[in-house]
Chains A and B, each alone.
Chain A
Amino acid sequence: MHYSSAVWSSYGLFLLTIILLFLRGYWLRNKTFLFLKRWLAKA
């Protein structure tokens, strides 16, 4: 497949956006439960 770099870059950006958004959700989940467990231990 001899597509131009613009095509591959676009699909790469698409993949990168999906991965980053997913990882941010995963990181937020861990951060939230860590915060809540500490807060509940203090309360």
Chain B
Amino acid sequence: MAEVLSGLRANRSSLPQVVVAGVGRTPFGRLPGHDAASLGQWALSEALADCGLVHGDIDGLILNRIGDYQDFARQCGIDPRLTLTTPPHGRFSGVCIQAAVAALQTGQADRVALVYGNDGQSAGMRYAAGSYDAEQGGVWFPYGMTSPSAFHALMMRRHMHLHGSTEAQLGAIATTFRGHAALNDAAVMREPLSLAQYFESPWVCEPLRRHDHCLINDGGVAMVLTRAEQARDLRQPPVAILGVGQASSLSDSAFPPEDFWAGAMGAATRDSFRMAGLSHADIDALMIYDNFTPTVLFALEGAGYCPMGRAGPWVEEGHLGLGARYPANTSGGHLSESYMQGWSLQVEAVLQLRGAAGARQVGNAAHVHYLAAAPVCTSIVYGRVQR
């Protein structure tokens, strides 16, 4: 058995290298007159133009938050040999990329388009109560319990109790990412945010304030993935997907996880680092799923960037800012750039490794780590390709 396993592992490293060939985005903000599918179509056209491919080149289609794959493909005039539709959960951007990597490595597709669209602002999406995918059928609604915001507030309150984390540490995350967004023309929220202004922002679900929450806006993102040997002649320098990992904490997930998802986040990170042959020391920038500020703390602890329970003081020390050791969410993230449920962070990782991030460029960035702490944790290691 051990021989079989080691054989599989050896074979794994000999699989073809998957790269990001193109990325595309719509503007972010309020985009009336569009639905999720049309925003996705717009982004896909941008991604194809970015790499110099056309719709007919696409033979794999992975949709996220766009419900009707048939209508989408019909409108785009494509006949993929791999089709996958995924639910509108933010944690699924990493899941989709992992699926695309596997399909490309095994030859089940040659050029996969990953397409995401979100008309949440124009549609008046609230992420709570009846309009939201009811938690356990709404059985907790009589107690007023609803929303991912409250779920993260409950997690954070317990983190504060166990580890002494503070509101000011959450404020440090919000203000740092806003500072990054100020350097990003595409960001929705670019006005500077001071810690005092953070503390003035109203409670939504204590201990979380409005500035601890992601934005709700419209937009679309698309990526085109292929194998390295097929990307040589494309328009943009390819960016390698060196490692991917996924682990979950789905049992008992109706309640806050006792380990703040650290077990799954750690497992996903280790798998992706092993596949990439890299470790924390090799990483130049982080893209951390920031639906709420506490999620950043949970991701950092789970992935092992700091000891369990110490992420609060660690972020307060300033390690996530541009110019620091681990610049994070250099686009502004979900908190200040755009709530594209992980997808715009993937694009930012690509732009950083192309050296195309403008005023917010991380100097000589070679490896970027995307990480998402959630009931399904994902970890992706991106790498610069020399050509």
Q: Do A and B come from one complex?
A: no
User: Interface of A with B (CB < 8 Å)?
Assistant: none
B residues near A, CB below 8 A? none
